[in-house]
Amino acid sequence: MTTLRLAELNAAYAAAIDQDRLEAWPDFFTDDCLYKITSADNEKAGMQAGIVYADSRAMLRDRITALRTANIYERQAYRHIVGLPLIVREADGLIAAETPFLVVRITRDARTDLFATGLYRDQVVPADGGLRFRQRIVVCDSNHFDTLVAIPL
Amino acid sequence: MTTLRLAELNAAYAAAIDQDRLEAWPDFFTDDCLYKITSADNEKAGMQAGIVYADSRAMLRDRITALRTANIYERQAYRHIVGLPLIVREADGLIAAETPFLVVRITRDARTDLFATGLYRDQVVPADGGLRFRQRIVVCDSNHFDTLVAIPL
Amino acid sequence: MTTLRLAELNAAYAAAIDQDRLEAWPDFFTDDCLYKITSADNEKAGMQAGIVYADSRAMLRDRITALRTANIYERQAYRHIVGLPLIVREADGLIAAETPFLVVRITRDARTDLFATGLYRDQVVPADGGLRFRQRIVVCDSNHFDTLVAIPL
């Protein structure tokens, strides 16, 4: 069932990030893809750029390499709680879905705070014997999260 | 599978609210229905009234019309994270289920806070080719949320 | 489908705790079992003990009896929001899974706060006509939650 398969994809995606297996993160995308972090207000204002932008798996890999080198990300960890995907359209092997998420941040001094909430706007296709994101636009509800979004959302 | 169908119903319900398609919200209910927001303490004390009360889809529609006119709600948005439904009883086409929820509020100055948590006590029936709520009692864990619950929970 | 059955098990487990049916909580485990609450940092440091530790259902029952006698727990309630399980391994009737969770605490003065987030590391087996935990290790993301974890997580 599509909903369940998408939910499993999301569970695996979140686990890779939250358990610091960031090198596995680009594998959730197709070679040509769109990954973008933006906010609801930016979307309404028609701003295309996003806070983070990548249009290929290679760019996603570069991003992780940079993170590992900079080592900034080690000071914090995330915990994703991902809601059930709502399937918006399903045709010709392409699934368009919207999935709510909540991310808690755990800083190294062990404070826990509500870091971000929002909606994943996804286009998912079959690839490599599973499902991959051809598009994942991360629409954050607030503009006010740290401008330094080090770890992928 | 019933659990999954209920989860999909909840996902669609939450999406309608969080994405400001409030006019679609009454359509998740049957014509005769019970929608109530209350708290765990109120329930224990035997108080029937609730903070919000409606017993027909027409009343739910009126509520949305009032909201749109008052325009109060525009200052904030919600993000629902809904847990998996627990089926309490299933007989004669009626499903009784209990589903935990968490609602984050995003105010227009972009603060994000934990607004409410609680349990949906639902009675769900087949209608209009899908599933509809004949009853949704929103039991909030705390009494202490804003007395002005503008947007539906 | 295994993912969905595990999700239902988790929903029932969380409901027993959140709705104060704590006497039912040990029944989610096999007679011989491992239940432990620890933190990600403790795990990395190789500390085995955990903050809470029990290796039989009898010990879990004792824990609940102690709680009911002490009555400390009545001052607060929990609300679990549990993510979708990620199946790590499934063989010979044993399912190993990892499931993210978030727990909100509601204190008696009605404050709501983000109490704990983390990962359940589970070993689940068929028993008593359903599924039971042979192991549930509760790995909290932060060390900083109350040292008095009265209610089970």
**pLDDT tens per residue across span B125-153:** 999 889 999 999 999 998 876 555 678 89
Mean pLDDT of A135-149: 80
Chain A CB contacts of C98 under 8 Å are: 15
- Domains annotated for chain A, with CATH where assigned, are 2-140 (3.10.450.50)
Q: By a Cβ cutoff of 8 Å, what residues of chain C touch chain A?
A: 1, 3-4, 40, 81, 83-86, 98, 100, 102, 114, 116-119, 141-144
Q: How confident is the model at residue C31 (pLDDT cuts 50, 70, 90)?
A: very high
Mean pLDDT of C8-26: 96
Mean pLDDT of chain B: 90
pLDDT at A33 over 90: yes
Dihedral sign, Cα of residue A10, residue A89, residue B4, residue C20: positive
pLDDT at B9 over 90: yes
Q: Is C110 left (phi over 0), alpha (psi -120 to 50) or beta?
A: left
Mean pLDDT of chain A: 90
The pLDDT of residue C139 is: 95
Phi, psi dihedral angles at A127 (to 5 degrees): -165, 145
Q: How confident is the model at residue A74 (pLDDT cuts 50, 70, 90)?
A: low
Contacting partners of chain C (3+ CB pairs under 8 A): A, B
The pLDDT of residue C41 is: 86
Mean pLDDT of chain C: 90
The pLDDT of residue A146 is: 57
What span, in angstroms and rounded, lies between the C-alpha atoms of B32 and B55?
A: 6
Here the ipTM equals 0.90
The pLDDT of residue C86 is: 96
Question: A62 vs chain C: nearest CA distance in angstroms?
Answer: 27
Q: By a Cβ cutoff of 8 Å, what residues of chain C touch chain B?
A: 1, 4, 7-8, 10-12, 14-15, 18-19, 77, 79-82, 102, 104, 106, 110-114
The pLDDT of residue B128 is: 83
Chain C CB contacts of A114 under 8 Å are: 114
Q: Is the pTM of this model over 0.90?
A: yes
Q: Which two tokens stand for residue C57?
A: 């259902």
pLDDT at C70 over 80: no
